[in-house]
Structure 1
Amino acid sequence: MTAKILDGKSLAASVRAAVKDEVARLAARGVRPGLAAVLVGDNPASRVYVRNKMRACEETGVRSVLHEFPAGVTTQELLDCVAALNADRGVHGILVQLPLPKQVDAARVLAAVAPEKDADGFHDENLGALLAGKPGAVPCTPAGVMRLLDSAQVPLAGRHAVVIGRSNIVGKPLVLLLLQRDATVTICHSKSVGLAAIARQADVLVAAVGRAKLVTADMVKPGACVVDVGVNRLPDGTLAGDVDFASVKEIAGWITPVPGGVGPMTIAMLLENCVRAAAKAAS
């Protein structure tokens, strides 16, 4: 059995098309959604991510503005930038590209973003709303994962989902979204004992830890849906996910590729969050 590919690239294209239509509807009312990105330093991966986000904005008609700072920026300088963006009525979504340099208090900077302009869904208020079952802006990667699962009609209610990774950006919010869909959820992390045995119980297995090819075929239940959130650059310069794609695709029922799986959906959900915020601000 060879797994069905969960094609995030094509699904993201359809999401962007819907976003473009919504942008046109808002434009007819005199509203143009605006996204502001804050980028610090010269991290190559961060630059690629931000460039892709800006390109997606251009494609869909969302106005984008990039605020760049040197690696030596202070926390206060970023707080001042965020405060100005919060006050700018032409900005409906703000994203602060992570990671930030060590001297910056990242938690303070993220907390300073107005919750209604939190395009990434990282603000404590939005995470708390998700926990309460009243989601506002949902973190983009978990939202993208759920959209991929829905597009393939992967059964969730009553099924066992195992999420490897407990970050506030992916693992924890994804657990909450899966619980809202009546899945039975186990979350694993670096201190989990018997990871392989737990993973083998999963009907839906999500890897989000940033370790290349951590999940191997012997960790996957036949027919399971395997979602690979990781993006890792190997010594030869190629990209690999947290899943050993070549071996796992022969066992799984569904699998996401890297690249072309979760990544494009993350950007698509960012656009949705921004446009939704613009529509709400205009209502």
Structure 2
Amino acid sequence: MACTPSRFPLTLAVAAAGGLAVSSPASASHASHAAEVERRAVAASCPLVFGHGGYPAQPDATAKDQIRQANNPSAVDDMKSWGADGVEADVQLTRDGTKAVMWHNVTSNGLTGAKKKITELWWARGAGALKARRIDRGPYQGEKVHTLRAWLKHVGSTGLIALLEIKPQTKSILASSAHGARAWKEISDPIRERQGSQRILVYSTDPWIQAELGRRHPSMLKGSAARWADSAAWDEPPPAWSANATRWESVLTESPPSIMTNYTRDYRRWLNGKCT
């Protein structure tokens, strides 16, 4: 059990400062338990930290979204500098499954150009091609949309673990008799090309896609990895990290091997000294 070593600070401090003898069995037991809490805290292994970008709470979520997701190299690099061990990012498909791209919104909301569904846009041809668009707001304004292959290459160069969410909006294409085979190649080929040289995990919130991932990439399923750690509903501007403190403590006591948070930098600072 990983927990903070400060749960019984007053009892120990008084005894040390006043030179008081611990004479009663109850006091001895209390001190012994406090020492055990400290020992376990020092011995506990810290969870791996997966950075997540944060998406606003309703209402007006799409209008407020500041495009903080780690779907581009600049965001990935920030996560790395904040102490992340891995990053969670989002895979979408362009029209007819012709390109697997890194983007979180159903539409091109947050990008330059006319607003359209990602599944209706071509990657590199026609008016409004996704390749030519740029992020139009937030800390990564000016960044372009990246393909899954290019994104995985960059994440691999940083040494971070790649956690891919295959978005539910891809299902209509992946399950299509006309385009499904090509669409799955767009997702699976870049993963297979790099799985020997970097750690990649995959999942989807759509049950059918999740089952297909289990069949196609059984050794790479997210499973129980990257447990969600936050309790504060993300919004813009972001709530203070301290709103998560009670939940973070509760999750940490369960010794998860890895967690996911919208507050990568704050979580890493909070974790300091609580585990090794």
TM-score with structure 2 setting the length: 0.29
Which one has the largest radius of gyration?
2
